[in-house]
Amino acid sequence: MTGTTQPVPQAPHIRRAVVTGSAGFIGSHLAHALLREGTTVIGVDRRHETSDQSAAANLAPLIGQPGFIAVTADLLNCALEPVLLDADVVFHLAGMPGVRPSWGTQFGAYVQCNILAAQRVMDAATRLGVPRVVVASSSSVYGPTTSQASLETDHPHPASPYAVTKLAEEQLCLAHAGRPDCRTGVAALRYFTVYGPRQRADMFIQRALSAALTGTTLRVYGDGRQRRDFTYIDDTVAATLAAATASNDTGVVNVGGGTNASLTEVIQLAEQLTGRTVPVEYFTTRNGDVPLTRADGSRALTHLGWKPKVDLTSGMAAQLQHLIRSTARQAA
């Protein structure tokens, strides 16, 4: 394990890539890494820089960069062939994330953005013969697990509507790839709780660091002993880039780790890094939340040549520095 000063992940040689979800947390970092390698990036998202603060922050490093073409469009109804035409790879990261809100009235939007959008992307990609689609799946497909690390061959037990849609999404993409007439290879990456600069505001580490800086109360769902294989954004991007050029039989791969930690350990780290106390209030465990995620990394190593490099302390320190800088910019 090292700190975050490791060299920026090296993109394999990709001439032209489509990144869906480019105004999002992971998609914007991926697009930036591709641009640094000289790839032409067509970034597709239904949000744009005036949509909300997080889209603006995510897009800021991309807008105006040579090689970046922003397409503001909804994957559910836009014409996809002109967007995907001539791409070497489509990174399909657009979707509705978040485990806990998926029980409510938003379920239809989860189905649309995670399943129907993937169907449209795969349909267009296979018709055009795009060589590779890399799709963002989720550790949540495993559901409740024991202390054993989850293997890609484990039987999935998704425990939330969100997780069900992510399992459907990855399997749908793989079903397209399995057609005898299909020239498109699919890699489905099961990301494990990704964190780092510009992490979504609904996620725990971002909330813990904000609470430490502002003194607002952090709401913990459950007793804080649930554990996650937290995965730093640069590691996530490196695995995603590797999946673009990995062999066609890559299939499903866990992208997880760096550090397995409980929420209580995350709070302690936030306190150490800021030198401040985090006020905490405990609430009941939310439906669909699992007590533990832990990735078996063997397949990622053999198929992607990838393993996580950034430990939680270094990764959270980088996230904290970014949060301090962006808060100061907003206040100025």
Q: Give catalytic residues, as residue numbers.
A: 162
**CA angle (131, 134, 139) in 5-degree steps:** 155
Q: Does 98 bind ligand UGA (CB under 6 A)?
A: yes
**Residue 14 vs 173, nearer CB to ligand NAD:** 173
Q: Does 203 bind ligand UGA (CB under 6 A)?
A: yes
Q: Does 238 bind ligand UGA (CB under 6 A)?
A: no
Q: Does 219 bind ligand UGA (CB under 6 A)?
A: yes
Q: What is the 3-state secondary structure (H, E, C) of the chain?
A: CECCCCCCCCCCCCCEEEEECCCCHHHHHHHHHHHHCCCEEEEEECCCCCCCHHHHHHHCCCCCCCCEEEEECCCCCCCCHHHHCCCCEEEECCCCCCCHHHHCCCHHHHHHHHHHHHHHHHHHHHHHCCCEEEEEEEHHHHCCCCCCCECCCCCCCCCCHHHHHHHHHHHHHHHHHCCCCCCCEEEEEEECCEECCCCCCCCHHHHHHHHHHHCCCEEEECCCCCEEEEEEHHHHHHHHHHHHHCCCCCEEEEECCCEEEEHHHHHHHHHHHHCCCCCEEEECCCCCCCCECCECCHHHHHHHCCCCCECHHHHHHHHHHHHHHHHHHHHC
Q: Which does 244 bind (CB under 5 to 8 A by kind): ligand UGA, ligand NAD, none?
A: none
Q: Is 137 within 8 Å of 150 (Cβ atoms)?
A: no
Q: Does 99 bind ligand UGA (CB under 6 A)?
A: yes
Of all residues in this chain, which one has the CB nearest to ligand NAD in the complex?
24
* Shortest Å, Cβ 276 to ligand NAD: 25
Q: Does 232 bind ligand UGA (CB under 6 A)?
A: no
Q: Does 142 bind ligand UGA (CB under 6 A)?
A: no
* Shortest Å, Cβ 319 to ligand NAD: 13
* Shortest Å, Cβ 180 to ligand UGA: 32
Task: Give the x-and-dash track for 2-41 against ligand UGA (CB under 6 A).
Answer: ----------------------------------------
**Residue 105 vs 284, nearer CB to ligand UGA:** 284
**Residue 141 vs 246, nearer CB to ligand NAD:** 141
Applying CB under 6 A, among 94, 220, 242, 246 the residue interacting with ligand UGA is 220
* Shortest Å, Cβ 315 to ligand UGA: 13
* Shortest Å, Cβ 141 to ligand NAD: 9
Q: Which residues bind ligand UGA (CB under 6 A)?
A: 97-99, 138-140, 191-193, 203-204, 207, 219-221, 226, 228, 263, 286, 289
